[in-house]
Structures are given as structure tokens and as C-alpha cells.
Structure 1
């Protein structure tokens, strides 16, 4: 029975603590406040001194194309207006599952009913001599950009190790600053997970046109210097002068909090289709999460994690089934897209259109009448259609010409 006293009793909200304030964390908060405004008492903990920002723009920030304000997402007023307590510049150091507490820095102990781990990844440093010398810098956050720009003085020689997306972006950003930049990659082509040899060759040419020297099959043996970086030595004995070395050889999920708390991990923090860990009160999303054996290091899967978890915690039906990986970006101003299989399997047919002079390349991989992969360089107009066809498995034979050359424009009606 509802009494006058109970009718006016304050609603006790569940305490939700979110550790991590990156892009995935913010997307989760946005969707949660849309789906269940006021349902939770939310506290967000971020290790960086600023609120969530757009990491995709870090290379543009490095190269001076945008300023730090352009990288910002939500101002502090947004968090306040949605009743979210935001703690910045204070990393979480411990999760006490027995007492349901998160220890933050030296000043905060946060009780929780539900906990979301959105702690991202840590940059990998090669296990080679000299990697701890001053002047060896990773490229993951605003502090890294500031450190690189400080080191990238006039007439400096910079070496970027790593031919994946972040390595390419760092190299282009340095070249825009007028720095003598060399990109090293241990594999025989750039972005080997996303591009075949032809597409990678076009990207390399675009990089070199921007002033970046590219060395492939370049295995770093060690970095040397008296008190700071002075040179990099390759395994074949080649010596490259260097005032700055930017390390971009990949990332690994940040597992320290989860492992310290006894939450089940493998390559990442293991989650089910609702982003729930081995503890039903604790969830994980983004680059730190492992779902069905997959750890994703891309924005699109992280956003899908965030939206799935927001629906689940809003009491809606939700289930994440995995993300069909694709890449869509601009490298040195050159549009690039890939999805599905990149190198041609023996069981598939490759349909190719190539115009190197114009910087155009398209490859469709078809197996048993269905599209299993696509690589586009220069014109990526049909990327959304390709992604849909790969995901659905719809027969593709009737669409090959339109996928290769673009769908014809709708005829315009004649003027009356």
C-alpha cells in the first residue's frame, strides 16, 4: 500500500561508475541519457586531464590543420546538465569487487552498483634496446601530440615505426610540420591488414608525394644515443639519424584493473553479447573488451558496444553479434576503403579496375556469387553498398558493373 510518506520518498538510483572517458565511453553516456534519463547516479572517471575528445583528429592536430578545440566533443556543461559527475586527470587504480568500490587516484573511493570498464588500450613499445630513451614517443593521445610537436623542431629528423593507420597519420602530421620524416614498416606493404599490394602501393606514392620517405621490410634492431635519441639501427646494419622516434606498432587492451579485480580476461576483458563480464555487475566496452574471441581496435565496433550496453542498462532488448570490419579513411588526402577479405583466396574471383595515373583502384572479391571483400582507392563512392552486400551475403552478380564504375545518376525530369 502506498502511504503519504512513501509517495514522497526520494527515488534511490543505482550507482553507475564508468571508468574511462574516451570516445566509446561518451557514446555510451549519450545513449544512456537518451534512453533512461535520470535512471542512474552516474560518475565517470577519466585518466586524462580533459573530457572525451576526438582521437581520430589527432593527426590533423599534430599537423596543425585543426586546433585542440576542434577535437572536443561535449563541454563540461553537458555532463553537468545530465547529472553526470566527471572526474578527470585521476586514473582508477583498483576495483574492490567484494566491497563494490573503485579507488581513484589518492582522493576518491567510489561505491558502485554497476561498473563499466571503458579503459581502452595501451600503446606497444618494441622490446628492443633504446626504447626508453628520451625522444622515443608513442602516438595515442593529446599529451603525445604535445610531446611530438615539442620535439619536432626545425631541421629535426623524425622516424615513425609502424605502417598501420596511426603510423601513417603520425608521419603525415610530422611532414606537414616541415619535419624530415621517414616511415619504417617491417612488412612488405603498408596497412597490410586492410590493403592489397596495389592499393598499398598507391598509398605509399601518396605518402611520398607529401614528403614522407617510406622504407618497407625495415626491421628495427635498436635505438642509440647519449642521453637521448640520436640514431636508429636496422637489423641489416643500416644506420638512420634520428632526433625523434614515434612508436606506432599497435596497441594491447588495458587489462590491469580487470585482472587485479579477478574479472575474467584473455586477450581482452571477456564479455558476452550484452557486454557483461564474468561479474554480472561489471561491464566492458571498446578497445579493452573481448567478444567471442575478437578484440577490436576501431571506433565503429566500440560505438556498437556502447549502444548495445546503453540499451541493456535501459532495460531494452540488446545483443551484440560482432562487427563486420571495414576501413574508410583518407591517407594524405587519398580516399581509401576496404572491407572483408583483402588478398584473393584460391576459391574467389578478383574483379579489378586500375588507373594508377589517376590514383584510382577498385577490387571486388567474389566467391560463389557473393561479395566477400572490396578494396577501393581514390573513389570510394560505393563503400556503403559494399559493406551491406558483404554483411548480408546477397547475390552480387547483377551489381558488378555498378559497384565497379558507380551507379548511373537518376535522370532529371524535363522542365515543363
Structure 2
């Protein structure tokens, strides 16, 4: 006899509702027939990380918490883009916007919150948006393609993250805040002012103590106006002034609401068999907007629905926040305001940008603010939760200095019961036990098994430290991370498998190594293609289906769908014939803009895709690979032949380097420069490989980066001849090609590997230097021919280039 499953309906596909379902599946995996309705056209995703998507640090796919496959595997019926519009609490069924009618035995309201939009004149203009979901992110990204001036109203966490993202999108970002310091709910005035100074140095402009009177414009926003009459121009206005619980559906259904949906200690509403969880729930007059309380509620609700004995009920949550705000670590908890009966312990280091404050009352910690260094947060939070008596503790114990910690991670001295991941309530003991029992080798595996670091990600460094502490030297944390979501295997494991099992093509790698997605994805396919190329340089035929569109058409796609074409000019040197070819091509194909690049070449911008093959044939110049994970440019100064300060032939050496290594595949783009003297006119100090001429010698710098993560190069060595320079470049590049992860810049590789280890391998060890140099020669012998010289006379290949479709690589 088959037992009828209880029908569970969840209204809302967000973090709180789906986490409750996860908790129910842990307790009673076969008890419920589950249906989930979501307003957005996406599976459950991590809303906390939307700012990372906006800032370009990650993609929408990367923030998905539960894939469509997870719903299928757990027999969950999911309706996306179809919100519930009616609830009949007497007959117990719901009706969705698209007409789905589903009966329930248990109904969970997880409708979350809506962004609060200020009722200002002009708030309905085009270009005035909130920052709450994926669609809002997409609107901001699209706006940045055509507009440059953005104003964010709201200096709280969400507003600052939006402003940081807009800066990354090359927009001017002005932040308007009603209070006189930032993030007043999470920080005190000292920390708020420190944060403002830091963000101002990043490029944000602040209007503090300002109240917006109206938004000006005709059809699209043009400016905002304050109460004092000041006007600030704006092409985009983002309102980030708070949220309000989404209670309309509950109220229309006769369920008791106040500010949010009123619930008791068991998350029960006023209607039978109807519960509420998350931002839409109000418990003892409080509606929580942080992820940790929502997950705590989810655990209690799962126990309630499963009728677990001795359910204590939900008693409220200690409010705390641990997040990275635009590159600055911030933590706050409890009541950190000063007042009667309270005393403060403070550490304020203006040189290091660190501020810590602990508020104490009746020998117990009542509140904490940490800015710049949050490593003490798990320990202090646990002391607050336990109500620990600190009367016998010294200030040095409560806020130890870095020297006192001996350079150790704070997780090392944590007690087993102490919480590492506050969002998900995961203790040190939980993580260590999972590592030992399940053989976990990476932070990603720990996240999948325990949920630690799954939400805001603030505890990820502690999780990594704990993994390293537990496994000792048996694991390299950086190398242990999975390549992508298609596999649990790390970069180094995949490379080793390719070598040991003699795997020779991408499909074979994915089949043999048990890929979850048999076609791979936009992360793993290019990486596998690269690793096969490096490991089997003599026999592997490059798979152009595993390359991004830029690399397939040998041009950079622009925001309007056209392309930019960059012919190679060795060492930045050109001649009249090349310039005539470029000018003729620009006229023939009506190129709207020609621009000299930072790498001393000419960029033809605005070329239509269908014109690319013919343009390259007309130019009859090598591609500059401005799109590739390859050797890009070798920038040079004019050198000793022309400059009165030059000590070396920088142009000659630069051209020799570029001609030898052009088209060589590398883990990431590689830029080089040769300067004839220490004045460094070619900017050699911020290149992946920088050569600087001094009297009678060359200095070689490596690991420089002139991008967002500005990093000066490290002095690798000093040699006397250009022959030695070429030999060391060969060895360095080959070592980098074989050892670095795909998409790891030389700057990040050197910081992970250590400059001394690189010197030991290719500078001090002549035998290994020769080995790497020989392997480089093999790689250079088999590097691809210039694509457009070979394609220009082969119509069939040119057609294949545009007709063969990649696998989701755009």
C-alpha cells in the first residue's frame, strides 16, 4: 500500500523558502510532494552576491544555489516566472498568475521583500531603478553601455555595492545619503567615515546629509535635485534606500499582517497549515533582513512541519553582518551604540586602516564593530551568543594584535563548537569532521557538504585556513578548487589525469573524468583545450569550438555587437606601407574610429562581423592577438639609437621577443615591455615581463599588472646579454604555462607560487632552466600559423570559422 505524500507548496523561490525545503528533505526526504512558485525566471540564486555579478567578479550562473537539476532530482515541481496570485486558506489551494491551481496540506509563505522606491516626483522616469534582482543588474549593465553618470540614493550596504559595480562599468558614481556617515545601521561614525574615505579614493563621490527633492527629466532621467536646491546630473538613478516585506498576497488572503506576516515561535501564521519564513515574516515585532536569521527560521519551520518532538521554537536572532564592502572587510553585531552602563574597548590603526570596537555591559559583550580586519569576528560572535562573562579577560585577549597571534589564522585557536560560518550556523567541528570523514580536499567541497561559505562568502578565508590546518601540507588550497561546476576535480588533478591517462581531446577528458555536463561549459572547455595544448604540443589539434567568440573571429567584440581589429606592430614599430593598408581598410569598411592603443598599435573599432575575413585579407598583417590568452604586446621605448638617456637597444630586443613568442598560448594574457633605461618610458615595471636597460646589463621584472589590481613587477634577475634575456623569458613563460591555472595572471601565480620558488626553478637551477627552454622551443615549433594569412586564401576554412558553433562560449 502506497502512502499518500503530503502536499507542500512554497510561495517564493528565494533563499529562505528553498533553504527550508532543503531542511525538510534532510529530515523527511520522501514525505512531501513539493511545488515551488517563483516570480523570477530563474532557479534559486544567492541574492547576496548580486553585487559581485554587477561588479564583474562573477556570473549569474556562478550565483545559482540550486540548479534546475536539483529540483528534478528531488522531484520538486518548479514554476518560474509564475507568482501565486490567490490563496484559499479554507479549501487549501493556491492559484498562480498563469492559472496553475495546486492544493496543499502545508503552505510556506516565502515572498521576501520588495525594494522601497522613494515617492519622488520623476521616480517613474526611464533610468530610475532599484537594485534587488538579476533584472536590475542587467538594466545597470545595459545602461553603462550608453550612459556615464549614475547616482545611487542610499549609503547603506546595498547602495555602496551598487556604486562599486557602476564604477567597474566605467560609470561616474555619486552616492547620496541622508545621514552624515555611511552604513549607520552596521557601523559607528568612526568606521563609517573610514569607509567613506576608502571608497572616495576608489572614485565614488559622496553627498552626505542630503535629501532628494525630485528627479528631473523628460522621458529619461537627467538629474536629481536636493532640498537645498543643489542639482546633480544623472543618466541613471539607483534607489537603494531599504526594503519592505511583501505582504500583499497574505493580507488579501486574510492572513494577519503587521509590517510583515505575523508568525509565532513555530513560524505559524494566523491561518491553519500556513507558515511564513524569511524577510516576509514578523516575529515578536521584528522582520529580519539578513540571511542567518532566515536560515535559523528555516530549521525551526522544518522541525515544526515534520512534527519533531521537543521543538523549542524560534526565539529571535542576534543581528550581525559580515560582508566585504568594495574590498573592505566589515563586521558588526549586536548593539554597538554607546550609552549608560556601557564601556568600550577600541583599537584604531589609521596607518593600516583597521578599527575595532567592543561594547561591554555587565561584564558581557553587547556589540562589536570591526573594520578592515574581521578575523576576530567568529570568536567574538560566539562569546556574544553564549553570554560569556569577560570580567577576567584582558583587552589583549579580547582583541589580540597580529603579533600576538603569531601570524596564525584565528580559526586555529577556535574551540570546536565555535561558529565559522555564521550565515549557515556551521561550526569548526562540523567542518573538520566533514573533511576527515568525507575526504574533502577543497573549499568548494566543504561548501557542498556543510554549506559553510555558501551565502555571503565572508568566511571563505577561514574555511580555507581550516582546510589547510586539518590536512597540513597535503593540500594546496589554491590548486584544490574545482575547475567549474561540471566537475569536483581541481586544475592540477585534471592536468595530472591528462598526462597519466594520455587523454588527447576535450570530449575524452570529460568522459573519462566523469563530467556532470557532458558538453562542458564556458569555464571548463577553454581550460581543457589549453591544458591539452600545453601537455601535447606536438600532437594536439586546437579545438576552436572551445574558444570564445573573440578568439574564433580574431577580433574583440564591442558593446554594440561590432568588433575591433588590431593588427600586430612588432615592438610598436610600423612603416608607411602598413599605415596605408590600415587607412585603406578603414575607408573601405567605413571604420568609425581608429585609436592608438596602450600597447603601441592601431585599433580599428566598429567593424561588422561579416567584414572581418575580407578586412584581414586586405590588411595582410599579422593579428595582434588583442583578444587572446596569449602573448599580446611587447611595448618599447625608442632606445639608445634616438634617446639621449637610452643605454640599450630596446626596440631591437622588443621586436625580437615579440616575433619569437607571438601567438603562443598562455594561461592568461601576457604583456611585455622593454625600456632602454630606468626612466621606464615603456612602463616595464607593471608588465607581466618587463625588461629595463641599465649600464651594460638588463634587469628583468615579472608579475606586474597595470589593471584593476595594480601591482609592480618583482625583480627576477639581472643579466648582461640579450641572449640571456631571451633564454630566461623562454624558461619563465614555459614554467608559467605548465604550472599556473588557466586564467591565472602572472601576478596572481607569482603571489601564490612565491618569487623565491620561481628563482630556484629557473634562475639558480641551470639544468631546469634548459629543460623549460627546450620545451618552449617544442611549443613554438607547433604554435598555430597566423590565422588570417592562412585563411585569407581558403574560402572553405573562412566559412567554417563562422558556421561552427561553440558550446555556450560567448
Question: Where on the TM-score scale, by shorter chain, does this alignment land: which range?
Answer: over 0.9
In the other structure, the counterpart of 1:307 is 299
* 3-state DSSP of counterpart to 1:222: strand
**Residue 321 of structure 1: which of 315, 329, 353 is its match?**
315
Q: Is residue 2:405 matched to residue 1:408?
A: yes
In the other structure, the counterpart of 1:212 is 204
**Residue 94 of structure 2: which of 68, 91, 102 is its match?**
102
In 2: Cα distance, 1:107 partner to 1:250 partner: 32
In the other structure, the counterpart of 1:356 is 350
In 2: Cα distance, 1:323 partner to 1:386 partner: 16
Q: Is residue 2:261 matched to residue 1:269?
A: yes
In the other structure, the counterpart of 1:344 is 338
In 2: Cα distance, 1:103 partner to 1:81 partner: 25
In the other structure, the counterpart of 2:10 is 18
**Residue 189 of structure 2: which of 197, 210, 218 is its match?**
197
In the other structure, the counterpart of 2:30 is 38
In the other structure, the counterpart of 1:393 is 387
Q: Deviations over 1:311-370 (max 9, x none)?
A: 222221431111100111111211111111122113211111101221100111111221
Q: Which deviates more, 150-159 or 320-329?
A: 150-159
In 1: Cα distance, 2:68 partner to 2:48 partner: 21
Q: Deviations over 1:234-270 (max 9, x none)?
A: 1110000000000100000000111011011111101
Q: Deviations over 1:276-329 (max 9, x none)?
A: 101131000000000011111111111111111112222214311111001111
**Residue 366 of structure 1: which of 360, 370, 379 is its match?**
360
- Asked if the contact 1:206–1:332 (Cα under 8 Å) also holds between the matched residues in 2, the reply is no
In the other structure, the counterpart of 1:3 is none
Q: Which has the higher helix share?
A: 2
Structure 1: runs of 5 or more not aligned = 1-8
- Deviation of the 1:392 alpha carbon: 2.3
- Asked if the contact 2:148–2:170 (Cα under 8 Å) also holds between the matched residues in 1, the reply is no
- Deviation of the 1:98 alpha carbon: 2.2
Q: Is residue 2:103 matched to residue 1:88?
A: no
In the other structure, the counterpart of 2:277 is 285
Greater relative CO (CA pairs within 8 A, separation 6+)? 1
* TM-score normalised by the chain length of structure 1: 0.94
**Residue 223 of structure 2: which of 231, 234, 238 is its match?**
231
- Asked if the contact 2:147–2:235 (Cα under 8 Å) also holds between the matched residues in 1, the reply is no
In 1: Cα distance, 2:13 partner to 2:256 partner: 22
Q: Is residue 2:60 matched to residue 1:68?
A: yes
- Asked if the contact 1:160–1:246 (Cα under 8 Å) also holds between the matched residues in 2, the reply is yes
In 1: Cα distance, 2:208 partner to 2:26 partner: 48
Cα root mean square deviation, aligned: 1.5
* 3-state DSSP of counterpart to 1:353: strand
In 2: Cα distance, 1:238 partner to 1:408 partner: 50
Q: Which has the higher strand share?
A: 1
In 1: Cα distance, 2:5 partner to 2:301 partner: 18
